[in-house]
């Protein structure tokens, strides 16, 4: 599974959570309390897994947001009418669910019922609309790819055929053939590089002309263009792209799609594969405790992989009231240990650690690690 698979996984988790919620609701209405507890615990576990996957996905993308395609204005209005309350209620849902679960765990069912009247419909709405948001954004109206529309000469050929130049038109009707010097561009980028210039050479090896009728990309991080749109027999064109590396880490592969009027190969896929060596090693990236486990200290090792030193300026967590994180200098500028300890493991929790360094490369200055307290699935 790759990062690109996480949106589909998140939608599946939302759908599964919806089923658990509805089953739990039916069970409590029919006074099957034990089954109700099981289904609600399953909903909590599923939501916790979803939240972990959601945080990892957006952290890996560096804040890049997939935008709804502009070519569907009515659908976009419906989409944002669903998305905006989804985001607001999702933020309210987490503390509200926790506030609802705590009285149930303490057997204060009167308070639990009062809070559940609010928590249940909000939780259900967030789960259902999570699926709808995914379907609208990735299935029904997928992210628009960049398209450069280029003029075609079919009308010109037809005009020549019906006019005084049928011989020229016949020559133009001869099929062209497309080939590339390479369909894969591989590059090992330095961490500080922001933009990579990519170039492919396209040749017409056929008898007639070949038209480039369109250029698409698989990602908004690629800006593609061609130096000519019609290639006579034997001519070449240069397909060039600027690849933004500002939000990439590790190895990434993106694609350029070249459409032509060649009868044999109308669309060609060119691959751009870039590897950026990491500046740091964070191991493990995620610390886990189980609910009820003793809240012992656990360590994250932070290592600088390049020759030049990088110092950690500060570390903090978004769950300061629930966990502590401290920094130990093993070797200044090279090796650090982060010690994390939850205050309690009585309840599930997900947290993020923000590691601020003095790295001169701005996009690498802040690094992230994560920790969680997970629930064990209960069996009847």
Q: What is the mean pLDDT of the chain?
A: 84
Structure tokens at 38: 């099981």
**pLDDT, average across residues 192-219:** 88
Question: Rounded distance, CA 238 to CA 214, Å?
Answer: 14
Give the up-direction half-sphere exposure of residue 174: CA atoms within 13 A in the CB hemisphere: 15
Task: Tell me how far apart the alpha carbons of residues 121 and 331 are, in angstroms, rounded to a whole number.
Answer: 52
220-253 pLDDT, tens digit per residue, is: 888 999 999 998 888 999 999 998 887 777 788 8
Percent of the chain with pLDDT over 90: 46
In degrees, rounded to 5, the angle at the alpha carbon of residue 272 between the alpha carbons of residues 366 and 237 is 135
User: Cα(272)–Cα(266) distance, rounded to whole angstroms?
Assistant: 20
Higher pLDDT, 171 or 78: 78
Cβ contacts of residue 261 below 8 Å, gap of 6+? 152, 154, 176, 210, 211, 213
What is the Cα–Cα distance from 95 to 47, expressed in whole angstroms?
13
The 10s digit of each residue's pLDDT in 252-262 is 888 999 988 87
The whole-number average pLDDT for the span 187-209 is 88
* Pairing mode, strands 280-283 and 298-304: antiparallel
The residue with tokens 């486990």 is 293
Domain 280-374 - what CATH class?
mainly beta
Top pLDDT among 75 and 142 is at 75
Poorest-confidence range of 68-82, 153-167, 323-337? 153-167
For the chain, the C-alpha Rg in angstroms (whole number) is 28
Burial of 65 (0-12, 13-18, 19+ CB in 10 A): exposed
Q: What are phi and psi of 167, to 5 degrees?
A: -65, -45
Which residues are CB-contacts of 253 (< 8 A; sequence separation ≥ 6)? Answer: 271, 272, 273, 274
Beta strands in 159-297 (DSSP E): 178-180, 184-189, 195-204, 210-217, 222-226, 230-231, 236-244, 250-260, 267-276, 280-283, 286-290
CA 160 to chain centre: 50
Specify the pairing of strand 286-290 against strand 298-304: unpaired
Q: What is the DSSP letter of 242?
A: E
**For 341, which DSSP code?**
E
Output 56 or 62, whichever has higher pLDDT.
56
Q: Which two tokens stand for residue 304?
A: 């600088």
Mean pLDDT for the stretch of residues 9-15: 91
- Taking only the tens place, the pLDDT of each residue in 354-366 is 999 999 988 889 9
Domain 147-276: assigned CATH number: 2.60.40.10
Question: What share of residues in the chain are helix, strand, coil (percent, to 5)?
Answer: 35, 35, 30
Do 82 and 132 form a contact (C-beta atoms < 8 A)?
yes
Percent of the chain at pLDDT > 70 equals 86
CA distances from 279 to 245, 358, 364 (A): 15, 13, 8
pTM for the structure as a whole: 0.43
Q: How far apart are CA 380 and CA 363, in angstroms?
A: 49
| Torsion sign, CA atoms 293, 329, 362, 305 | negative
Which residue from 134, 16, 143 is spatially nearest to 86, judged by alpha carbons?
A: 134
Summarised one tens digit per residue, pLDDT across range 138-188 is 778 765 444 333 333 444 445 544 554 454 444 444 556 888 999 999 998
């Amino acid at each position: 599974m790759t990062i690109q698979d996480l949106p589909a996984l998140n939608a599946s988790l939302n759908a599964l959570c919806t089923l658990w919620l509805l089953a739990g609701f039916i069970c409590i209405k029919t006074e099957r309390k034990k089954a109700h507890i099981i289904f609600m615990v399953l909903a909590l576990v599923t939501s916790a897994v979803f939240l972990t996957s959601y945080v990892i996905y957006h952290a890996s993308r560096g804040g890049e947001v997939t935008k709804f395609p502009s070519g569907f204005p009515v659908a976009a209005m419906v989409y944002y009418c669903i998305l905006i309350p989804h985001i607001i209620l999702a933020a309210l849902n987490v503390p509200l669910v926790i506030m609802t679960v705590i009285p149930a765990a303490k057997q204060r069912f009167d308070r639990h019922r009062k809070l559940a009247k609010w928590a249940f419909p909000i939780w259900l709405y967030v789960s259902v609309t999570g699926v709808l948001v995914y379907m609208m954004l990735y299935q029904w109206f997928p992210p628009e790819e960049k398209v450069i529309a280029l003029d075609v000469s079919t009308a010109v050929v037809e005009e020549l055929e019906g006019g005084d130049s049928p011989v020229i038109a016949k020559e133009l009707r001869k099929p062209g053939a497309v080939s590339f010097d390479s369909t894969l561009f591989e590059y090992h980028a330095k961490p500080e590089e922001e933009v990579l210039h990519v170039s492919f050479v396209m040749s017409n090896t056929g008898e007639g002309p070949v038209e480039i009728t369109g250029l698409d990309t698989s990602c908004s991080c690629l800006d593609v263009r061609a130096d000519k749109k019609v290639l006579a027999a034997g001519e070449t064109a240069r397909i060039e792209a600027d690849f933004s590396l500002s939000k990439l880490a590790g190895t990434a592969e993106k694609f350029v799609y070249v459409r032509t009027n060649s009868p044999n190969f109308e669309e060609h896929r060119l691959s751009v594969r870039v590897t950026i060596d990491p500046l740091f090693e964070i191991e493990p990236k995620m610390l886990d405790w189980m609910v009820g486990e003793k809240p012992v200290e656990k360590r994250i090792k932070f290592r600088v992989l390049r020759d030049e030193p990088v110092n950690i300026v500060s570390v903090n967590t978004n769950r300061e009231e629930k966990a502590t994180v401290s920094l130990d200098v093993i070797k200044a500028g090279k090796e650090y240990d982060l010690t994390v300890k939850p205050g309690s493991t009585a309840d599930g929790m997900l947290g993020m650690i923000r590691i601020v360094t003095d790295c001169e490369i701005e996009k690498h200055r802040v690094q992230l690690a994560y920790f969680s307290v997970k629930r064990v699935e209960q069996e009847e």
